[in-house]
Every structure is written in C-alpha cells, then in structure tokens.
Structure 1
C-alpha cells in the first residue's frame, strides 16, 4: 500500500528515501521497544502512561501489509500499560471498517484513563465527554465491538514525512497519512481485534525506553541507542534525513 498522496510526495524525500534503509531502521526500532524493561510516554498536552511490553501473539501482531513509504513502528500491546492519554484534535477511524460520521472533532481536551487494555474513565468538559462516549457507543454498536478496549499503540518515524495541508480540511485524509510522522503517536481502540476502529492521535510524544528518550517532543533520536545507531552508520543518507527531519504534520499545538 502506498501512502504517498500525490506526485510531489512520491518524488520528494518521503518517497525517495532508501526503502531498504527504512526497513532496517524499523527492525532496529522494534528491537529496542519490544525488548525494553520499562517504557514511559508523555506529551505536552498531558498524556502520561507507562508500563512494560508484552510480546504480541500471532493474532495480535502487525497488520500483514507492505507499506510504502515505510514509517511506522510495530504496534506495542497496551496490556502492560496504565495511565492517561489526553485526546485532542480528532478521533479518527483506523481504516479497518467504514462508518459515518467518520471522525469526531475534539473541541476541548478529553482525558482517557486506562489500565491495561481497558479504558476506565473519561474526564473533561461534560459536553465533550458525552460526545466522545456517544461516538464510542455508536461505532461499537454498529459492529458489535467492545467499545472501551485498547489494543495497542505505536509512533511514526519517517524523518521526511511532511503533511503540508491542514488536518481540519480533511481529518480522515490527515489521519490516514500523517500517522507516519515522527510527531504523531497513535492508539488503536474500540474492539478486541487489531487494529480496532477508533484512533487517538497524540502529538509530539516523548517515549522513554528504560529512561532514555527514543522520541523526544516529537523527534526520533535513533543515535541514542546502539541498535538504531548502527543503521545510521550503515546508511549515511538516512542519518542525514534524521538530522534534518521534515516539520509539517498538519496540526500545530
């Protein structure tokens, strides 16, 4: 599946960056995250959760699809994590099933509290919390899903992924493309089968792997780990791209 939306994206750094190098970087990132003893994730809006990784079973691993360009790490099962995620901007679909309305605009932040794979509560402005609850109930009822299940989360890592448009112009198009951006981490929720049906898009995450930030304020730092650092050493073009990543992701704080 190609995630390049147009000729400009395909002809630019996003489409032309060495695909094999990106495959090697993904393998390295996955090794770092899956082997971690402790992971903590925060964001400027107040997201704060932590825990340990659980090796995915056969039926809860990655979606079997060849992505191009490649820019998303392996999903990390949420079973071993607890804390909160602050929901902003939009709740969007995962692309698994289609439904209408396709997304929900989050006008004021809503905090989702969770323990393992269960959403235990939603807090925020009463009208916005009610809208989020109604959206979850609607999607879950349509397909017979467990509304408040969280399957997994993962973060984008493509250094040259740039979403030049505005998310507000087309939230569905934005979420289905910009998820590969380093500045975006997203959750898969609503439903027990991956990838769920409702995404939480978290902007500018910091992901601490055993105390060391692999992502820091929405920027990937592969040079901080031996495994990912070896990939940079092997592919100078990739190292240059990570040293000067693209900035636009469709949303400003």
Structure 2
C-alpha cells in the first residue's frame, strides 16, 4: 500500500509523474538523522507512480560550499531530485538552480512522513505561505511577543527589500519567507539553549545554559545579552567561538520567520538531538526563529521563540503559538478548498520537544 505522505511528497510537492526520472539523494545509514524506513516508503511510492528512480548515497559534510560534482551530474540528468540528506538543506540558500528541480524532505522518519505533518495536502500550504507572504509584505507594522518576555517590532517585509526564498522546494512546507531584520528592534527571550541553523555544523552545535537569558537587538544588530551572569557569559562565549571559527559577523541579525504547519510534531525532547530538532521542529506554529551570527541567510546560530503572538496591523494572526489562518486574507477560502487541513488548525499538535 502506498504511503500517503510519500505520495504527497512525490506528487503534490515534487510533481513526479509516470516515467519521470527521479533521483533520491540520501545519507549513508547509521548517521541517526534520517531513518532508513523513510527511504523505503518513498521508493515504494515512486514505484506505484511509475517513475524511473536512481538512488545516490552521500556522506554527511559538516561545511559544504557546493554540491559534489558526481551528485550534481546526476541531478542535472534527472527530472526531479529529492533530498533525504542534510546537504540539500545546507545549500538551500545557495544558487543551485542550475542543477534542476529539487525538494528537501523535512520529515525525518517514516513516522513523521505518515503523520498529519506529511499527509496534509502540500498544495494547501503553498497557498497559505503565499497568502502570509502577501499579508506580511503589505503590513504597516508587525509586533511579536511571547509569554516569557519577547517583545520586538518592525515594518512589513514590503517596506524593506524582500529576501529571496530558498532555491529548493520544502516538504512539508512549514515556514513563510524570512522577513529581513534590518528594520526590527526589541528583545527576544531565549528558551534555555542556543542552536545552529542547519547551515554549517560545528562543535558544540548547541549551548545549554542555566537561568534566564534574553537578547536585545536594534536595526538588525545584537546590542546586549541580559539575564543571569552565567547565562550571559556562556552566550557571549558561544557567539565569539562560532564567529571566530567561521570568520563571520558575530552580532548580525539577518531575518526571522515562524512555523505555519500545525501537524509538525517532535517526539522526545530537544536534548535528544539538537541537530534533528533544529532540522524538523521549526515548522510548528509554536516556534518562531531568527537567523543570526553571519551576514547571510540563514546565519549560524538561531534564536527560538516559544509560543509567539504575532500581530500584523493589530490582527493577532498567531496567538500564543496558535496560527489562525482564517485571519489571513484569503485564508478562509484556502480552508474551504482543502477541508482536510481545517481539523489540524482546530486541534494543532503541541509537542515540540520542550
């Protein structure tokens, strides 16, 4: 029996049809990021569709700068490439269009793929993202708060140069296009850790700290960390370590966006694997994250805001981590066209590993 999530990925996201040449790029087994069963599920779905499939195994590369030549050659000869490998995510902000059409799967195991996160119609979230992008671009003001003290604000994306989106298709589609932080200022309350962005991997990839910690920024620049002395000292040292090691701008705050997929759910806790958490949890509307440390997308350290309220021109589109698509212009029509997603927004998944 074909897995509904795998069919959703191949048909509704990647656009795979009978006789298409599909390349699946996957990490070598045993690395603990993707499980082996998800590859099998996608292969079975491709067989049912009637696609011609090539499978390419790749190693994990902590700091890739370009697509390996052998992978790039296979991609150029395929109609579509699906990545079950971190390198697709790591190069998502690079100009990789010359390699052809591609999608990265952010469902990391067969359980996530077959859950509502993977099975909810991908086309609905394409439309929702477009509607949110339009609303945020046209906004006069955006104000973000959270129960722990986050409070920042700025104009809609249309009042500054919009950011280019990633050069890949995301599956499941779970965030809107990043909003530039250059005209935003305020304070972000951090949830007990700092973690990488999935761009480059370094050790330690995450910093856990004790006590309260927040960070203030102005016009896209960090101004100071505040909180317990030990937490402030640890955060400053972590930022200095990452910036020095990679030769990047320590205090740059690049952009931010929030999760839009109420089916996104994380089993276990964040400390089980910060790498997997940072690569999968961000799609839940309970999380908003910033790209910081590095004057480029996505930077190398993310700030995570838990249960944000995002008010767009006085309309609380997110309320304490709950996204209300009916408040987005065109949202009611999207829910009507895709009735299977309405129950997800009525009863969103709350488990984000925290």
TM-score tier (shorter):
over 0.9
Determine whether 1:48 maps to 2:151.
yes
Could you tell which deviates more after superposition, 135-144 or 236-245?
236-245
Distance in 1, matches of 2:174 and 2:116, equals: 12
Determine whether 1:172 maps to 2:294.
no
Tell me which of 183, 188, 193 is aligned to 2:291: 188
- Say which one has the larger Rg: 2
Determine whether 1:140 maps to 2:236.
no
**Is the contact between residue 149 and residue 188 of structure 2 (CA under 8 Å) also seen in structure 1?**
yes
**Is the contact between residue 309 and residue 316 of structure 2 (CA under 8 Å) also seen in structure 1?**
yes
Query: Structure 1: which 5+ residue stretches go unaligned?
Result: none
| Cα offset, 1:63, TM superposition | 2.1
Determine whether 1:202 maps to 2:308.
no
| Cα offset, 1:57, TM superposition | 4.4
Distance in 2, matches of 1:54 and 1:119, equals: 20
Distance in 2, matches of 1:81 and 1:16, equals: 36
| Cα offset, 1:68, TM superposition | 0.7
Aligned twin of 1:154:
257
Aligned twin of 1:2:
105
Query: Structure 2: which 5+ residue stretches go unaligned?
Result: 1-103
**Is the contact between residue 186 and residue 201 of structure 1 (CA under 8 Å) also seen in structure 2?**
yes
**Is the contact between residue 151 and residue 195 of structure 1 (CA under 8 Å) also seen in structure 2?**
yes
| Structure 2 counterparts to residues 111-126 of structure 1, below 5 A | 111-126=214-229
Distance in 1, matches of 2:182 and 2:190, equals: 19
Aligned twin of 1:97:
200
Distance in 1, matches of 2:296 and 2:277, equals: 23
Determine whether 1:26 maps to 2:129.
yes
Q: Of the two structures, which has the highest relative contact order with CA contacts closer than 8 Å and spacing of 6 or more?
A: 1
Distance in 2, matches of 1:158 and 1:225, equals: 15
What do the CA deviations read for 1:107-130 (whole angstroms, capped 9, x no partner)?
222111111111111111111101
* Cα pair distance change 1:171/1:216, threshold 3 Å: same
**Is the contact between residue 132 and residue 328 of structure 2 (CA under 8 Å) also seen in structure 1?**
no
Aligned residues: 250
**Is the contact between residue 210 and residue 230 of structure 2 (CA under 8 Å) also seen in structure 1?**
no
Distance in 2, matches of 1:213 and 1:146, equals: 33
| TM-score, normalisation: structure 2 | 0.68
Aligned twin of 1:17:
120
Distance in 1, matches of 2:278 and 2:211, equals: 19
What do the CA deviations read for 1:55-100 (whole angstroms, capped 9, x no partner)?
4647x42221211111111101111111100112221111111111
Could you tell which deviates more after superposition, 173-182 or 105-114?
105-114
**Is the contact between residue 262 and residue 285 of structure 2 (CA under 8 Å) also seen in structure 1?**
yes
Determine whether 1:219 maps to 2:297.
no
Distance in 1, matches of 2:297 and 2:256, equals: 10
Distance in 2, matches of 1:34 and 1:57, equals: 10
Could you tell which deviates more after superposition, 145-154 or 90-99?
90-99
Note the aligned Cα RMSD (angstroms).
Answer: 1.3
